[in-house]
Structure 1
């Protein structure tokens, strides 16, 4: 699906747009003509606790503008209510509207020892609390301040970004305990907001990428986007991975869909939306990581390349 400039005149806030999925969503909304406020804690003058100085919100804003939109970078810690309030007041003054809110804030990977976390009561409590602050509290603080601006006009869209669909997560525990909570909560937030926004004509969904080749993921495998296939020797499942552009295009397609309300309250994936709307990843493929792993756990998966 080619969204063209269907979002010209629309205003979006990507909360957590420094890198990865957030950056890609901002760029694709900009490509469709939107004005996009991009927020995060890493700027050219300051680095967040993730320690990644290479990607900044200023870079993201520049990419949005280069793609054809209007990118506006604002340094915000979304756990600081006064900063979020000031951000939304600024959007209200400058634009008078908010059409799309994407809560994609995360930044908790450095707190998780995947495969070595131990039991819930053995996991460091301060780290557990921080995971939930970053992945859950930051989302509802942002919605608390942003939604009153959105509902001034009907037709708004809220996207809660998580890791895994409801179908994938419902019967599968994803240790450590706090990570599981942080990634299931946005699914419930989208469901709750879909009910609370119904009378205002707004839509709320949760959205997950598949196995995404973010900057950090590529570094972890010791590859680049140009030679990412080499990582399949280490993990064959990586063959079904996708670039952040796929979920970026999913958000742009949702935002440009006049009938998007049919999805409200639902848990969606980038791979399924690619097939529904007809967009592809940057290489022309339509990877469906969600279906691949559902089939894998059910003992039915074939060659991961066949899920592209």
Structure 2
């Protein structure tokens, strides 16, 4: 079962997990609109080695799908609105898949992760949640209008993290409730809303941060060495893409609506490994929690199926 003929939007797809999801949707045959900010080529500090929205769209097409670039500043809701108007106009009102991934607060999180919330500038909340929670909400509104009007269901995936369950990094870092509430109101329309938790992923930015030792943490949180090991041994960015494709192909996916799902758990359920052949440990795995959470090497010997309840 391919996704040929399906229309998808992946926000924040220039690099990282967004790019990984977009190229896997393309490999499954989908027409994928990828968004990102227009590059400011005049800036001297632009890292030319990083992937771009153009390379993402090109790879989508090379893998068998159709990649379409739309430059969008996701802090500008007028631009967000025009994105969905364009997709609607070009596809007779059809949209099958929305992946909300755009995010711009990595530097703000890293710069403030060693501070208590009242020690940081309160504007950090807006930095974290504007191109994040707020943008995800706007995109979901416009996508839902198209999906409901067409009457053929649809899939909305909000890329989240374990920060939606427990304290991680800082107070502003923490989307899953919105996914669950949207799922309830969209249930009768057969539109599935999922909150997706990737594990520690080898994105360009996370790799740079851990190798250059730029992560700052409070004493009460997990050790810096443990976080570094998590990311350097983490899943590829396309592992999340394999998860989204598996959900999009599942004819019974609506039974999962409103849930928070872990990429590694989906790999076990649907029977896929990472693109490098590795079997990824779930963040719910007891072995993973012992090894990376508490620093016990014994955790690496425990079976992956031994997990905490979801």
**Same fold by TM-score greater than 0.5:** yes
Kindly state the Cα deviation for residue 116 of structure 1 after the two structures are TM-superposed.
4.9
Kindly state the Cα deviation for residue 175 of structure 1 after the two structures are TM-superposed.
3.3
Equivalent position to 2:283, from 250, 267, 290: 290
**1:267–1:75: structure 2 CA closer, same or farther, 3 Å change rule?**
same
Taking the aligned partners of 1:36 and 1:79, their CA distance within structure 2 comes to 21
2:22 maps to what in 1? 26
Taking the aligned partners of 2:27 and 2:176, their CA distance within structure 1 comes to 27
1:119 maps to what in 2? 116
1:229 maps to what in 2? none
Equivalent position to 1:164, from 138, 162, 165: 162
Taking the aligned partners of 1:60 and 1:294, their CA distance within structure 2 comes to 34
Tell me, what secondary structure is at the counterpart of 1:74?
strand
Kindly state the Cα deviation for residue 303 of structure 1 after the two structures are TM-superposed.
4.2
| 2:255 is the counterpart of 1:262 | yes
| 2:142 is the counterpart of 1:129 | no
Deviations 1:99-142 (A, max 9, x none): 00010111211112367532211111222321111221111111
Tell me, what secondary structure is at the counterpart of 2:5?
coil
Deviations 1:154-209 (A, max 9, x none): 2200001011276xx2xx322321123xxxxx211210111111121110010011
Taking the aligned partners of 1:238 and 1:27, their CA distance within structure 2 comes to 21
Q: Note the aligned Cα RMSD (angstroms).
A: 2.7
Kindly state the Cα deviation for residue 217 of structure 1 after the two structures are TM-superposed.
2.2
Question: Any conservation in 1 of the 2:5–2:30 contact (CA below 8 Å)?
Answer: yes
Between 255-264 and 156-165, report the one with greater CA deviation: 156-165
**1:138–1:68: structure 2 CA closer, same or farther, 3 Å change rule?**
same
**1:236–1:253: structure 2 CA closer, same or farther, 3 Å change rule?**
same
Equivalent position to 1:146, from 131, 143, 168: 143
Equivalent position to 1:207, from 183, 196, 205: 196
Kindly state the Cα deviation for residue 262 of structure 1 after the two structures are TM-superposed.
1.2
2:219 maps to what in 1? none
Kindly state the Cα deviation for residue 63 of structure 1 after the two structures are TM-superposed.
1.0
Question: Any conservation in 2 of the 1:44–1:58 contact (CA below 8 Å)?
Answer: no
Question: Any conservation in 2 of the 1:30–1:70 contact (CA below 8 Å)?
Answer: yes
Kindly state the Cα deviation for residue 149 of structure 1 after the two structures are TM-superposed.
1.0
Kindly state the Cα deviation for residue 81 of structure 1 after the two structures are TM-superposed.
1.8
- Which TM-score applies when normalising by structure 2? 0.83
Question: Any conservation in 2 of the 1:117–1:123 contact (CA below 8 Å)?
Answer: no
Question: Any conservation in 1 of the 2:77–2:138 contact (CA below 8 Å)?
Answer: yes
Tell me, what secondary structure is at the counterpart of 1:177?
coil
